[in-house]
Amino acid sequence: MNRIAALCFITMLIGSVAPAAMLCDQLHLKIKKQGPLISSKLRLPFVGELDSQRLAAQGFKLKDDQLIDVETKVVVGIVRVLDTRYLFEWASEEYHRSWIRTAGIDDVCMRRILEAPGQMAGKGFYVSTQPFDSWSYGPAMTVFRTRGPLIVLRHAHDTRTTEQVQRYSLAGIDGIAVMGMASWFSIINSRHLRQPETFASVVKDIKAAPSTAANIKLAELNFWRLVWSREQYAIWLSQLPGFLLSSRSIEVNVSNAIRRNNLRVLKLIAQAANSQESTADWLKPEMIKLAQSLKANEIEKFLESEMAKKTQE
């Protein structure tokens, strides 16, 4: 994701069920303007969601849910629709600020992305429909609010060629499903990337989304891995909602930090545990006693200063 972000940042500075099995009334079901808060579930397209004239102009036709190249008669992908309100992208803090400042990714930036050397899973701007499963791409999250349903292509043919991917985009395809990753998509036009937001602005929605609960444990494990192994990702903690961390995991890791005399980790834990969304009581008198018994003087001073702040509150 960082490589893709870099291309755009420089630019800114310079200038499955078969259709036959569906009931007829499902085909004409009215599409809701705004989808679920967070969802990776794909559905069959409704009648009219893909413009047949746009498809024909790029040499494609749709047969049931199959996208077919008219000239070669090859099935180039399976069409699905994604209903979700948010897309999530992790990158550096610098790139995150650039998306917010420039109101996301425009057509010029997207064209540069598609013309750039192919990425590992094909061309496009990689995003996830889940907030925490692509954290390793950078310490800062950018949230893109979608503009309705996304038309996506599964099992897409030739996603590494600029010309072919641009054909998909011009035909009305918004993104390509990343093989082996149910929640990852490579977005190939700018329509759904024009409304960037910060994590803080949507944290309540994320917390309320039913699918978030299933990802909390994974996010918590990722959090502790970051805390202990990647100091450069410390800024990520300022965006992490405290509700992801259980009181038990905080207690265990605070104890481990004291026993290992690791003040850096202890400060990061304190930052997360003291966040507005956290209800965990991470600082207890026995923690100071443990530091005293281990003669961890710097940690003891830090804990005492935190305890003094807590008492004043």
**pTM for the full predicted model:** 0.71
Q: Render pLDDT for 144-183 as a digit per residue (tens, 0 to 9).
A: 999 999 999 999 988 888 999 999 999 999 999 998 788 9
The whole-angstrom separation of Cα 129 and Cα 150 is 11
Among 169, 200, 231, the domain boundary falls at 200
Per-residue pLDDT reduced to its tens digit, 180-211: 788 999 999 999 999 999 877 887 777 777 66
Q: Which tokens sit at 311?
A: 């008492």
Reported residue count of the chain is: 313
Measuring CA to CA, which residue among 270, 260, 261 is closest to residue 240?
A: 270
Tens-of-pLDDT digits for all 313 residues of the chain? 555 555 554 444 444 333 333 332 333 333 344 557 778 889 999 888 999 999 999 999 999 999 999 999 999 999 999 999 999 998 888 888 999 999 999 999 999 999 988 677 789 999 999 887 787 787 788 999 999 999 999 999 888 889 999 999 999 999 999 987 889 999 999 999 999 998 778 877 777 776 666 666 666 776 787 778 766 555 555 555 556 677 788 888 999 999 999 998 898 888 777 764 555 577 888 999 999 999 999 999 999 998 888 777 6
Residue after which a domain boundary falls, among 172, 200, 228: 200
46 and 186 housed in the same domain: yes
* Element of type H or E holding 196: strand 196-198
Question: 64 and 20 in contact (C-beta within 8 Å)?
Answer: yes
Listing DSSP states for 114-166 in one string gives HHSPP-TT-SSEEEESSSSTTGGG-SEEEEEE-SSPEEEEES-S--S-HHHHH
Are 122 and 88 in a shared domain? yes
Query: CATH number of the domain that 179 lies in?
Result: 3.90.175
End-of-domain residue from the set 168, 200, 232: 200
Are 176 and 39 in a shared domain?
A: yes
CA distance to 43, 149, 173, per residue, from 18 (Å): 11, 20, 20
Instruction: Tell me the two tokens of residue 37.
Output: 């808060």
Total domain count, the chain:
2
* Whether residue 123 sits in one domain with residue 86: yes
Examine the domain organization and report whether 160 and 216 are in the same domain: no
